[in-house]
Structure 1
Amino acid sequence: MATTGEVHLTTGGQRSLAVLVIDPASFQQVATALGHGRCADQLCRSNWLPIEPSRYQRLRRHLLQLFALSELSPPLRGDGLEHVHRQMALQADLQADLLPLLVETLAAACDAGPQLRRAPARIEVVKRAQDWMVRHPDRNTSLDGICQELRASRRTLIQGFQDHLGMGPMAFRKLQRLHMVRQALLAADPQRTTITAVAARFGLLSGGHFARDYRLLFGERPGFTLAAPAKTRPQSRRMLTTVQPREPA
């Protein structure tokens, strides 16, 4: 993977993401043994590879089999000789089967021409909009006003947010503000803080609409979040502040 630039990932709907980390030295050793010694160098200059569908399916099936076996096997935790043997057996399976398959798949993709793909142009506008919203949470600026601040057209901003986040800029702004309010309530002293003051700090001035939107998003009233003891307060998910562009067609 390229060490400079950015890598963006978009998944549709609910997905489980598995990350496979391979030691570069082990990868290079297997690649060299299979006659693909230059593959690792090419991978370091690319942030994506066009994998052939048939090779992708073989690799996917093998990974699914490994995941299924790991769920049936005892957890790889603990200590003692049995734990060491399980780790060694798994490592041997990866070294003997998965790693050569992965090398062959990536080597074929390298031969097809790895590229450092640039993100779509609209993503930069979306990032600037997100940054502006973070710096000015209390300003009730209209969509046209935000466009003027960013020197971007209304169409570009709306289409950019729809493409990369699946919602319009004003819907994202409301969502972002609600997350900011939640973070503030979780960190606040219930004896010295009012919900109205916190909401107003982030530009949410309509008490009725704010309470309804907060309850719909987090499943509880803002007063519960503020009043809950620190040990029993629910963990708040950090607001996503970067965007993942869909791959251009």
Structure 2
Amino acid sequence: MGADSGPESPPEPLAESPALPPPSLPPPAAGLWPERLLHGIEALAGRGLDATLLAPQPPGRPLGGLQRAELPAMSLRAGWLAGSLRLRGPLARRQVVLALHLPDPEAAAGRLRLWHRAVAPGDLCLIPPGLELDACLHGRARFLLLAVPPGQLRVALRQMTPADGFAPDATPLLRGNAVHVPAIGAAALRRIAAALAIQGQFGAGLSPRARQLLRTELLEACLQPLVRPAAAGAAAIAEASAEPVMSGAYIVRLVEDYLTVTGAAAGGELPDIDTICTAFRLSRRSLARAFQDSLGVGPMTYIRLLRLSQTRRALLAARRHGSSSPGGSSQAEGAAAPGVTGIALGHGFTELGRFAQLYRRMFGETPSETLRARH
């Protein structure tokens, strides 16, 4: 069955999605290296993340921006994303990532979900090494990512714990589920902003000792909510890391993995709703609710959107291959039309005219323009 057949209508923009930000870009955060704009889902794929557009992205408007800086035993990444996106993939394979949803003075925060939890500005998420990110965004979000070695996290927690307080065992923070810490507080956010301002003002002129102090200040500002009286601290860690059995986010991940294993995500035979429900012993209503609650679209619509994003990645890969072949760009341009046809059919789009319309609507250019363009 082709990707353009089935019980659902063609993908529509999400009616309830917050408005995208105005064309003026948010200012870079102080204290970090120059901002690099992220144009298209391919920019996120280049950072190890599988990205799927859930609603059309206005032509020429970047999906986000990214800045970076380095401190001793800590990598900093700050930036913003704007659009309707589904993201999966590891953020760091050997480091703990402290992911902070930053308040955005430029625009209202969008709807951000990490795993099964809604994440508000000021919330922190501790992500163990190698854990695959499970995120969905509708609107805009600013973020700060601090990646540190596991040993550095253990040391920081021990040094912060008062004699009569709760010293969190770092082991649950390094294995298993992510830990969600809501509302780290205005004081912590001010400490983080001040540390980044010092980095921005003095940069490479900071002494090694000063850079170590900045790293400690950033870690302590983020981790302070975990240091509590013993009973409250232990309960908070357990509650913050638990994921309900068969949550909507968990069901979505299961279905995504099923589509990957069966090949349906990349253009194989598209399963119907009943087949998916049977595979996971779910009712149609439970499956639909899981996708609507987690991603804002139904399961069959999401499969089509997933295939569109994968088709774009395949077209970009073909363009890179063509430009590196003997004959250069002229060879790539000469093979553009059959290349688009083969890639579209290979990803399950049998009605090529409809595919071209959906593709242009989502990405702001035709499939042939993607294959030929030089971004």
Answer yes or no: same fold by TM over 0.5.
yes
- Determine the C-alpha separation between the residues in 2 that align with 1:44 and 1:180: 36
Kindly report which structure 2 residues correspond to 1:97-116, keeping only aligned pairs within 5 A, or say none.
97-108=217-228, 111-112=231-232, 113=235, 114-115=237-238, 116=241
CA contact (8 A) 2:189 2:221 kept: no
Measured after TM superposition, the shift of residue 127 of structure 1 is 2.2
Gaps of 5+ in 2: 1-125, 323-331
CA contact (8 A) 1:126 1:161 kept: yes
Structure 2 residue 217 is matched with structure 1 residue 91: no
Aligned match of 1:64: 193
Q: CA separation of 1:10/1:62 partners in 2, compared to 1, >3 Å: closer, same or farther?
A: farther
Q: Paired residues, what number?
A: 217
* 3-state DSSP of counterpart to 1:204: coil
- Residue 258 (structure 2) aligned to one of 127, 132, 147: 132
- Determine the C-alpha separation between the residues in 2 that align with 1:100 and 1:139: 51
Kindly report which structure 2 residues correspond to 1:1-249, keeping only aligned pairs within 5 A, or say none.
8=134, 13-22=139-148, 23-24=152-153, 26-31=155-160, 34-35=162-163, 39-41=167-169, 43-46=170-173, 47-48=178-179, 56-71=185-200, 73-76=201-204, 82=205, 85=207, 87-95=208-216, 97-108=217-228, 111-112=231-232, 113=235, 114-115=237-238, 116-121=241-246, 122-134=248-260, 135-136=263-264, 137-188=267-318, 189=322, 190=332, 193-228=338-373, 232=374, 234=375
CA contact (8 A) 2:164 2:229 kept: no
- Determine the C-alpha separation between the residues in 1 that align with 2:364 and 2:229: 46
Bigger strand fraction: 2
Aligned match of 2:3: none
Identity of aligned pairs, percent? 26
CA contact (8 A) 1:211 1:222 kept: yes
Q: CA separation of 1:110/1:168 partners in 2, compared to 1, >3 Å: closer, same or farther?
A: farther
CA contact (8 A) 1:177 1:202 kept: yes
CA contact (8 A) 2:165 2:228 kept: no
**Residue-by-residue CA offset, 1:119-168 (whole Å, 9 max, x unaligned):** 45133432232123331223244434443454422111111111222211
What is the root-mean-square deviation in Å for CA atoms of aligned residues? Answer: 3.3
CA contact (8 A) 2:291 2:298 kept: yes
Amino acid at match of 2:294: H
Q: CA separation of 1:127/1:50 partners in 2, compared to 1, >3 Å: closer, same or farther?
A: closer
- Determine the C-alpha separation between the residues in 1 that align with 2:167 and 2:273: 47
**Residue-by-residue CA offset, 1:66-114 (whole Å, 9 max, x unaligned):** 334444x2544xxxxx3x52x532432443x555555542112764212
Gaps of 5+ in 1: 77-81, 235-249
Bigger helix fraction: 1
CA contact (8 A) 1:139 1:203 kept: yes
Q: CA separation of 1:4/1:183 partners in 2, compared to 1, >3 Å: closer, same or farther?
A: closer
For normalisation by structure 1, the TM-score amounts to: 0.70
Q: CA separation of 1:94/1:48 partners in 2, compared to 1, >3 Å: closer, same or farther?
A: same
Measured after TM superposition, the shift of residue 216 of structure 1 is 2.0
Q: CA separation of 1:152/1:48 partners in 2, compared to 1, >3 Å: closer, same or farther?
A: same
Q: CA separation of 1:10/1:187 partners in 2, compared to 1, >3 Å: closer, same or farther?
A: closer
- Determine the C-alpha separation between the residues in 2 that align with 1:100 and 1:124: 31
Q: CA separation of 1:98/1:173 partners in 2, compared to 1, >3 Å: closer, same or farther?
A: closer
- Which structure's relative contact order is higher, taking Cα pairs within 8 Å and 6+ residues apart? 1
Measured after TM superposition, the shift of residue 178 of structure 1 is 0.9
Amino acid at match of 2:243: R
CA contact (8 A) 1:181 1:202 kept: yes
CA contact (8 A) 2:252 2:290 kept: yes
